[in-house]
Amino acid sequence: MPVGAFPRVDGALHAEGVPLGVIAAAVGTPCYVYSANSIRARYQQLAQAFASVPHRIHFAMKANSSLAILRLLHELGAGVDIVSGGELYRAHEAGFAGVDVVFSGVGKTAREIDAALDARVQLINIESEAELVTVAALARRRGVVAPVALRINPEVTVDTPHAYIKTGEKGQKFGIPRDDVERIGALIHELPNVALRGLGMHLGSQIANADPMREALPRLLQAIAVMRAQGHELQCMDVGGGLAVPYAPGDPEADVDEYARLVRDAVSASGLSLVLEPGRFIVAESGVLLTEVLYRKHAAGKDFVVTDAAMNDLMRPALYQAYHGIVPINITEGTVIADVVGPVCESGDFYAKQRELPDVQAGALLAVLTTGAYGYTMASNYNSRTRPAEVLVDADRFAVITERERYEDLVRLERAHLQWRTA
């Protein structure tokens, strides 16, 4: 965790200089709390690692797309990697221009592609021949040339902690199979409204070890050589995101130095500029989810800690069996082995199973750690629960950046009086 993000001062857990108990009292629970300086530190760490090559960090905003976080990264000079028209809208709201945007994703709709062309995004990352043809047709209709990159699937073995976050292996829905790249490069020459500006890849998420990148980069360079031999004037290579952060005790940290060295060497060999798409690495450890213990329960020989936060607030344990550290805000005597569960009517609604924890009682505050990435962005209204508030801490100040939803918000889009239509 970046130094100073969530220190314990006189027994009380803080976010930078602000006691988390003060935030819980002011804003209520559950709420996400982010450390601005820790996000800055992670961004700078990457920017420095790549300082010697022309590069741009396009934050993968699916990890955390709250406007205040995006504005903070915009101020630092980041661009964004988007995967939907909604993310493009958010990026604009946060101050990003089209040139700051690369557009990824395997299923872009015509409406989204049109919006991206109108915004003059820097790159549309193409994932299939069918998508390429669609982009070409839409660009032609608008009388523009779409700048595209081909996302290749380098087909390397990736050792991620959960199968759902692998993307760069053979047989995944992502990317263009290596064998098809030459044919698609030739096809681009027949499409005057498309200009091939780059080649890219994304190997998966939570990759701690540099081996997959070591294996994949030569394949990317080879594809670059093939495209150049076909006469394409490339400008950039995109290595995606995927740098790991530690969640559980003993989890490895990403080897940023080795990763950066490998990528820098490939960038120098290519003579292109580099696009990076990190998400989790920049924000995951910069966030905690604050929750209050509602009840202690003992049933069938087991202890349960029932919290006011649930799977709808943080999906990762239910979706990926993900581990998140859980610590009390105030030091608590004794320990208990318990399941930490939320109020949602699903047995998948847990944050920890049979975990040794401080013996917290009802009313205690807990911080669920490493929840700055894929936390709030995956939150839902399941069980008609309002989504939590989000708070940003910067040194000794804090501000609500997203209000807690209200019950009225839950039904805002629903119609009281139905306007029936017939076929």
Ligand X SMILES: Cc1ncc(COP(=O)(O)O)c(C=O)c1O
Both tokens of 29, joined, read 């629970």
194, amino acid identity: V
Q: Which is nearer to ligand X, 167 or 291 (CB)?
A: 167
DSSP state of 182: H
Whose Cβ is closer to ligand X: residue 245's or residue 368's? Answer: 245
The gap between the terminal CA atoms of the chain, to the nearest Å, is 58
State yes or no: residue 277 binds ligand X (CB under 6 A): yes
For ligand X, the binding residues in 301-340 under the rule CB under 6 A are none
Least CB distance to ligand X at residue 360 (A): 31
Active-site annotation holder among 163, 300, 345, 416? 345
- Cα(216)–Cα(101) distance, integer angstroms: 24
CB of 241 to ligand X, least distance (A): 3
Q: What residues have CB less than 8 Å from 154, skipping those under 6 apart?
A: 168, 175, 178, 201, 203, 215, 216, 219, 220
**Nearest approach, Cβ of 242 to ligand X (angstroms)?**
5
- Three-state DSSP at 13 gives strand
Cα dihedral across residues 136, 138, 141, 144: positive or negative: negative
> How many residues are present in the chain?
423
What HEC string does 128-175 produce?
Answer: CHHHHHHHHHHHHHHCCCEEEEEEEECCCCCCCCCHHHECCCCCCCCC
Residue from 63, 194, 365, 392 that binds ligand X (CB under 6 A)?
Answer: 63
Beta carbon nearer to ligand X, 63 or 152:
63
Q: Considering the complex, state which of residue 364 and residue 379 has its C-beta at the smaller distance from ligand X.
A: 379
Of 31-39, 262-270, 274-282, 313-321, the segment contacting ligand X by CB under 6 A is 274-282
DSSP result, 272-335: -EEEE---HHHHGGGEEEEEEEEEEEEETTEEEEEES--TTT--HHHHH-----EEESB---SE
Question: Interface with ligand X includes 279 (CB under 6 A)?
Answer: yes
Select 24 or 63, whichever has its Cβ closest to ligand X: 63
Query: Is residue 168 a contact point for ligand X (CB under 6 A)?
Result: no
Closest to 371 measured CA to CA, from 7, 91, 31, 14 = 31
Residue 388 near ligand X by CB under 6 A: no
Residues numbered 231 to 270 that lie near ligand X (CB under 6 A) are 240-243
Q: What string marks each residue from 97 to 116 as x (binds ligand X by CB under 6 A) or -?
A: -------x------------
User: Which of 280, 324, 355, 387 forms a contact with ligand X (CB under 6 A)?
Assistant: 280
For ligand X, which residue of 160, 205, 312, 370 counts as binding (CB under 6 A)?
205
Question: For residue 47, what is the DSSP state?
Answer: H
* Shortest distance, position 187 Cβ to ligand X, whole Å: 22
Q: How far apart are CA 135 and CA 144, in angstroms?
A: 11
**Contact pick of 20, 60, 266, 310 for ligand X (by CB under 6 A):** 60
The 3-state secondary structure of 63-90 reads: CCCCHHHHHHHHHHCCEEEECCHHHHHH
Would you give the DSSP letter of residue 344? S
Kindly tell me which of 104 and 291 has the beta carbon lying closer to ligand X.
Answer: 104
**Nearest approach, Cβ of residue 201 and ligand X (Å):** 9
On whether the CB atoms of residues 392 and 372 are closer than 8 A, the answer is no
Q: In the set 32, 69, 81, 254, which binds ligand X (CB under 6 A)? A: 81
Question: Is 345 an annotated catalytic residue?
Answer: yes
Residues contacting ligand X: total by CB under 6 A: 15
Q: Which is nearer to ligand X, 37 or 104 (CB)?
A: 104
> Treating both helix axes as pointing N-terminal to C-terminal, what angle do 256-270 and 211-229 enclose, rounded to 10 degrees?
10
Task: Tell me the closest approach of the beta carbon of residue 83 to ligand X, in angstroms.
Answer: 7
Q: Report if residue 278 touches ligand X, rule: CB under 6 A.
A: yes
Closer to ligand X by Cβ: residue 281 or 398 = 281
Residue 342 makes contact with ligand X by CB under 6 A = no
Q: In what order do the strands lie in the sheet with 18-19?
A: 8-9, 12-15, 18-19
- For the CB of residue 281, give the shortest distance to ligand X in the complex, in Å: 6
Binding site for ligand X (CB under 6 A): 60, 63, 81, 104, 202, 205, 240-243, 277-281
User: Would you name the residues annotated as active-site residues?
Assistant: 345
